[in-house]
Amino acid sequence: MTATATDAATPGAAAAPVRVVWSTEMLGYDFGVGHPMTSDRIDLTIALAAGLGLLDEPGVEVVDAQPASDALLATVHDPAYVAAVHAAAERGVADPDRGLGTRDDPLFPQMHEAAARVVAGSVDAALAIWAGQAPHAVNVGGGLHHAMPGAASGFCVYNDAAVAIRALLAAGVSRVAYVDIDAHHGDGVQAVFWDDPRVMTVSLHETGAALFPGTGHPRETGGPGADGTAVNVALPSRTGDAGWLRAFDAVVPAVLRAFEPQVLVTQHGCDTHRMDPLASLRVSVDAQRLAAERLHVLAHELCDGRWLALGGGGYAVLDVVPRAWAHLIGIATHRPVAPATPVPDAWLDAVRQRYGRTAVPVMTDGAVVEARPWSAGYDPADDVDRAVRATRAAVFPSLGLDPELD
């Protein structure tokens, strides 16, 4: 089965092929049986994208990656931490103070190599975009946004998004925007660029008062000399499609337009979904698809199409992650999949044989997503509106925007 749209249906189709980062070696990033961060998420996504015909066209280039060098990792991560990851992988040496050998980040033999490969995949894709070798690129194995310069955190060993952004800056990019729509705050990327006015980090997430990592409050707006470049929308638990997209529309386009990035990097953790076991938002695959479409359009509007899309969280392994990220791949490759498209029978059969259960058989949750625009007025009795207003009040003035009008 093939996707149901053509290049002409989406702005900015280009002669250079869109890159999808993938090889079977990418499945090495896996914390073991029973851990939520299973590589099955990536394996099933790529298999579904292939079954939908998204990877076969001449305008799509599937590329692998070799592990990043220690020198590349050290552009973001402390050399002592990189050495500790090597020791963890090669000799099984736990270092809980650096997050290695913890419940979230247990040791596994390929820990360094697998995590470094994810980094290289994102960096190579980012530099290809900047060099004009690809209009867009997708690395669904990337988006490891919790890793800190000196520690693993939240299932993330190395921060591929931060290393890719640092590589873009070194290549001459003046302004990079990072938008994170994972249910969890993109704390690691924010921390790396807290004081850097060349990078805007935008995170739309479930409130840290209820969910790991406990950060991402509206008052977090950037360090000295970079105020207004950290943008955080902390949504109430159980926020559904209408509120989630209302918050997105009320903040993300305005701050990106004010910042005028040259490259857009986005993280598409799909643990916002109502079926996800680790978060409490109530978003559908349909709303996640619409957010990806909006980001694609913004990349063309603001960045001449230069867009790197990464995966991230998402732990409803069979019913959500493959569909959400196959939609992302379809959008990025200019072959968006119609929501009503059936999931290929061969993919469903493979899931049934492998897991002993059926998966959702269509690429939609059947949600009719309508979001009231911010211009329609602020409702002080609405929890989502109060969260959005707090963000706009905290950050919009620093960007020259009117929090009441823009």
Q: Where are the domains of the chain?
A: 7-399
> 96 preceded by cis ω (within 30°)?
no
| Burial (Cβ within 10 Å: 0-12, 13-18, ≥19) of residue 380 | exposed
- The pLDDT assigned to 57 comes to 83
Distance CA 267, CA 220 (A): 19
- The pLDDT assigned to 15 comes to 65
Burial 217-240 (b: 16+ CB within 10 A, else e): bbebbbeeebebbbbbbbbbeebb
Distance CA 405, CA 127 (A): 37
Which is nearest to 228 in space by CA: 386, 396, 390, 388? 396
Token look-up 């402390």 returns: 78
- The pLDDT assigned to 405 comes to 85
Tell me if residue 184 is catalytic.
Answer: no
Burial 338-352 (b: 16+ CB within 10 A, else e): ebebebbeebbebbe
Rg (CA), the chain: 20
The CATH fold of domain 7-399: Arginase; Chain A (3.40.800)
- Contact (CB, 8 A) for 294 and 317: no
- The pLDDT assigned to 58 comes to 87
Tell me which of 77, 136, 145, 146 is the catalytic residue. 146
Ramachandran sector of residue 133 (left: φ over 0; alpha: ψ -120 to 50; beta: rest) = alpha
Give the predicted TM-score (pTM) of the model: 0.95
Token look-up 């949750």 returns: 365
3-state secondary structure the chain: CCCCCCHHHCCCCCCCCEEEECCHHHHHCCCCCCCCCCCHHHHHHHHHHHHCCCCCCCCEEEECCCCCCHHHHCCCCCHHHHHHHHHHHHHCCCEHHHCECCCCCCCCCCHHHHHHHHHHHHHHHHHHHHCCCCCEEEECCCCCCCCECCECECCECCCHHHHHHHHHHHCCCCCEEEEECCCCCCHHHHHHCCCCCCEEEEEEEECCCCCCCCCCCCCCCCCCCCCCCEEEEEECCCCEHHHHHHHHHHHHHHHHHHHCCCEEEEECCCCCECCCCCCCCEECHHHHHHHHHHHHHHHHHHHCCCEEEECCCCCCCCCCHHHHHHHHHHHHCCCCCCCCCECCHHHHHHHHHHHCCCCCCECCCCCCCCCCCHHHCCCCCCHHHHHHHHHHHHHHHHHCCCCCCC
Q: What is the pLDDT along the chain (406 residues), one digit of tens a residue?
A: 333 333 333 444 446 999 999 999 999 999 999 999 999 999 999 999 999 999 998 899 999 999 999 999 999 999 999 999 999 999 999 999 999 999 999 999 999 999 999 999 999 999 999 999 999 999 999 999 999 999 999 999 999 999 999 999 999 999 999 999 999 999 999 999 999 999 999 999 999 999 999 999 999 999 999 999 999 999 999 999 999 999 999 999 999 999 999 999 999 999 999 999 999 999 999 999 999 999 999 999 999 999 999 999 999 999 999 999 999 999 999 999 999 999 999 999 999 999 999 999 999 999 999 999 999 999 999 999 999 999 999 999 999 999 998 7
